[in-house]
Chains A and B, each alone.
Chain A
Amino acid sequence: MHALDRLFEKSSRSLAQRTSRRSFVAVLGQILTGSILLPLLPIDRVSRAQAASPDSAQARPPHQAASDDPQNCEYWKYCAIDGYLCSCCGGSSHSCPPGTAMSPITWIGTCHNPSDRRDYMVSYNDCCGKTSCGNCECNRNEREKPIYRLSRNNDVNWCMANSDSNYHCSVSVILGLADQ
């Protein structure tokens, strides 16, 4: 392991030991962690418009808004996701499909839930170890930053630190209220 990797891990573990969970989560958004704290991260996906599954709109009950449908790119939790939605690939909005592996590094953003009008802290995770799922491509970039601000970037392959770093799909996991 490279010295910088060890430094990342050491600093992340040290940070976790020195801070409360609340402040830790806040800081985590600013500092990229190299240890296995949370599974996450979306890859690039500069792709084209918010494509998500057109079929999902047809399958959705008439009363269900796009922002409430985990198979739709407009789902509220996906406000800065970039990749294929795991909910269309055998997983869910917060779980990986069978046979894939969660990425051990992550980044965190804030999304607004219009249903309860609250802002939530979410982690963007990648699921790894199989080739691209190809279903429900989604690219949203609220508050996303270029690659030099790695802790806010969705262009990089966040499976990069997995033993098998191929990218399969992305999820968005609620960590808690943003103002907690």
Chain B
Amino acid sequence: MRTLQFGAVLLGLLVTGSAMAAQPLAAEQFTVESLPRASPHWVYIVDEAFANEIDARVRLFDGDSYRHLGQIDAGFNPGVILSPDRTTTAVATTYFARGGHGTRTDVVEFVDNTSLTTIGEIVLPPKHAQLSPAFSILSYSSDGRFVYVSYITPAASFGVLDPGNKTVLSEIDTAGCVLVLASGRNRVSSLCDSGRLLTVTLDEQGHEAARALSDVFFDPDSDPIFAQAVPTSSGYVFLSFLGQVHEVDLTGPQPLIHAPWSMVGAAEKGHWRPGGQQLAAIHGALGRLYVCMHSGGEGSHKEGGSEIWVMDLKTHHRLARWPMKSLNIGPVSAVQVSQDAAPLLFAGTDHQAVAVFDALTGQLRHVEKNLGQSPWLILNP
């Protein structure tokens, strides 16, 4: 045995000596990485950084290589949205003059998605809706000409911005109705306390041309809908606290509101519920709705999902239930699905992780731990 140990030590010395005799490492060039070509499997993960909220950020993550590709700074309680052509990320946020305190400046910043550099900004009145990250705090018109930003002071209104000329065009009062759900080139809908949708149509200058209130389509008292709307090709899908699915078509001047349907069976109603932050996502071509579901009662609507349910938007049938508990990733509070033919499902968890699943089979592919403090909003490129 001692002979063997001596041989191993001798071999080690020889190898070390050989390495020392080799050419020294070349001098390195200090540089800045360029982003590779964008992939449908990239996601922009909005981290509210809840423990130090003035330092929210957006992390660009590759669902194939599991690499962090870069970061966008996002200030305090940001709204984040990608432009329709996906070339730009817009961030509506607040900065304080002295870091954690001081004069408040609200601003929409525009970031070039090929370099992750800030390329412009529009300073806002100090009214930006300071909320948990959600899609509808900030939105683009379908042609990218207008940007809409939600204001709450607590009076509700929204700003119409011109991202081309970096100017504020107008402010539209929406008393009793909040958020900016964009549709088409010039329409914005807001959710109302009365259970209706307010839809404002803009003129070419970005000023109000007309407004219309929908019929009541949900009951804010007995079964409110989550404000986190899921965009579709024709409008939005809203989920209710008790698991009803409300589909709204916004392609016309008046919202077309379809009859609601239920994700839960009679025996499950009141027990199994949707919950979380970005609690649902849709794969458009497959017509599949992915929802964070948990078993709970009144007041549990922000609990993350112990299961992800997969629903068929045409048949309204449940296609699958994917349990999360055995995976030890924590309850799932945010889901997003890539829109390609081999889709990935991204799941932001209460344990500060983002899990990557095969969106067709539910097979877990990867868990990226510590991907921010609070990965509650995940955007697709």
Residue pair A44, B52 in contact (C-beta under 8 Å):
no
Contact A105 B154, beta carbon cutoff 8 Å: yes
- Tell me the complex Cα distance, A34–B50, Å: 26
Query: Is A150's CB under 8 angstroms from B154's CB?
Result: yes
A177 in contact (CB, < 8 A): no
Cross-interface CB contact of B299 among A5, A144, A163, A167, cutoff 8 Å: A144
> Bound state CA distance, A45 and B303, in angstroms?
12
Write out, one digit per residue, whether chain B residues 279-315 have a CB within 8 A of any chain A CB (1) or not (0): 0000000000000000000111111100000000000
Is A147's CB under 8 angstroms from B178's CB? yes
Query: Does A47 reach chain B (CB closer than 8 Å)?
Result: yes
State the Cβ distance, B83 to closest chain A Cβ, in Å: 24
Within the complex, the shortest CB–CB distance from B132 to chain A, in Å, comes to 4
Q: Give the CA-CA distance A106 to B100 in the complex, in Å.
A: 22
Contact A149 B77 (CB under 8 A): no
B183 at the interface (CB under 8 A from A): no
Q: A141–B301 contact, CB under 8 A?
A: yes
**Of the 9-residue stretches A56-64, A66-74, A127-135, which lies at the interface with chain B?**
A127-135
Cβ contact within 8 Å between A146 and B224:
yes
Check if A147 sits within 8 Å of B179, measured CB to CB.
yes
* Contact, CB under 8 Å: B298 / A165: no
* Chain B min CB distance to A105 (Å): 6
List, in ascending order, chain A residues with CB within 8 A of B77's CB.
44, 157
Q: Does A117 contact B (CB under 8 A)?
A: no
A156 within 8 A of B: yes
Q: Which of A4, A80, A105, A157 contacts B157 (CB 8 A)?
A: A4
Given known A-B contacts A130-B100, A161-B154, A148 and B192 have beta carbons under 8 A apart: yes
B80 CB-CB contact with A under 8 Å: no
A-B contact count (CB 8 A): 138
Tier of interface size on chain A: 35 or more
Shortest distance between the CB of A122 and any CB in chain B (Å): 15
The answer to whether B153 touches A4 (Cβ under 8 A) is: yes
A26 close to B (CB within 8 Å): no
Min CB distance A121 to B, Å, is 18
Known: A2-B153, A132-B51. A47 touches B104 (CB 8 A): no
| Beta-carbon contact of B50 and A148 below 8 Å | no
CB-contacts of B362-381 with A (<8 A): 374, 376
CB A160 to nearest CB in B, in angstroms, measures: 5
Chain B residues near A8: list those with CB within 8 A.
Answer: 154-155
Indicate if the CB atoms of A148 and B191 lie closer than 8 Å: yes
Which residues from B are CB-within-8-Å of A2?
125, 127, 153, 155, 157
Chain B residues with Cβ under 8 A from A7's Cβ? 155
List residues 29-72 of chain A with CB under 8 A from any CB of chain B. Answer: 32, 34, 43-49
Within the complex, what minimum Cβ distance (angstroms) separates B209 from chain A?
Answer: 20
Q: Is the CB of B131 within 8 A of A147?
A: yes
Interface string of A84-108 (1 = CB under 8 A from B): 0000000000000000000001000
Contact across chains for A132 and B50 when beta carbons are under 8 A apart: yes
How far, in angstroms, from A163 to B98 measured CA to CA in the complex? 13
What B residues does A4 contact at CB under 8 A?
153, 155-157, 173, 175
Chain B contacts with A in 17-52, Cβ cutoff 8 A? 48, 50-52
Q: Which residues of B contact A5 (CB under 8 A)?
A: 153, 155
- Contact A131 B173, CB 8 Å, known A4-B153, A150-B178, A160-B130: no
Residue A143 CB within 8 A of the other chain: yes
A131 touching B54 by the CB < 8 A rule? yes
**Bound: A44/B133 CA distance, A:** 10
- Does B220 contact A155, Cβ atoms closer than 8 Å? no
Identify which of B96, B101, B132, B177 contacts A44 (C-beta below 8 A).
Answer: B132
Closest to B349 in A: A48
Residue from the list A105, A140, A143, A148 in contact with B179, Cβ < 8 A: A148
Q: Distance in Å from the Cβ of B75 to the closest Cβ of chain A?
A: 11
Given the interface pairs A4-B153, A130-B101, the reply to whether A46 lies near B299 with Cβ below 8 Å is: no
Asked if A49 and B350 sit within 8 Å, CB to CB, the answer is yes
CB contacts (< 8 Å) of A44 on chain B: these are 48, 77, 131-132
- Supplied contacts A4-B153, A140-B299, A144-B301, 18 more A-B pairs, CB within 8 Å: A4-B175, A32-B154, A46-B132, A132-B51, A132-B52, A132-B53, A145-B220, A146-B225, A146-B226, A147-B227, A150-B152, A156-B129, A156-B152, A157-B130, A163-B104, A165-B130, A166-B76, A166-B101
Q: Can you sample 21 A-B contacts with CB below 8 Å?
A: A2-B153, A2-B157, A4-B156, A43-B130, A44-B48, A45-B50, A46-B302, A48-B350, A137-B51, A147-B131, A148-B178, A148-B227, A150-B193, A160-B152, A160-B154, A161-B153, A165-B126, A166-B53, A166-B54, A166-B100, A167-B53
Q: Could you list which residues of chain B lie within 8 angstroms of chain A, going by C-beta atoms?
A: 48, 50-54, 76-77, 94, 96, 99-102, 104, 125-127, 129-132, 152-157, 173, 175, 177-179, 190-193, 220, 224-227, 277, 298-304, 331, 333, 350, 374, 376
Binding site for B on A (CB under 8 A): 2, 4-5, 7-8, 32, 34, 43-49, 79-80, 105, 129-132, 134, 137, 139-150, 155-157, 160-161, 163-167
Query: Which are the 8 A-B pairs with shortest beta-carbon distances?
Result: A4-B155, A131-B100, A157-B130, A44-B132, A142-B299, A148-B191, A146-B227, A48-B350
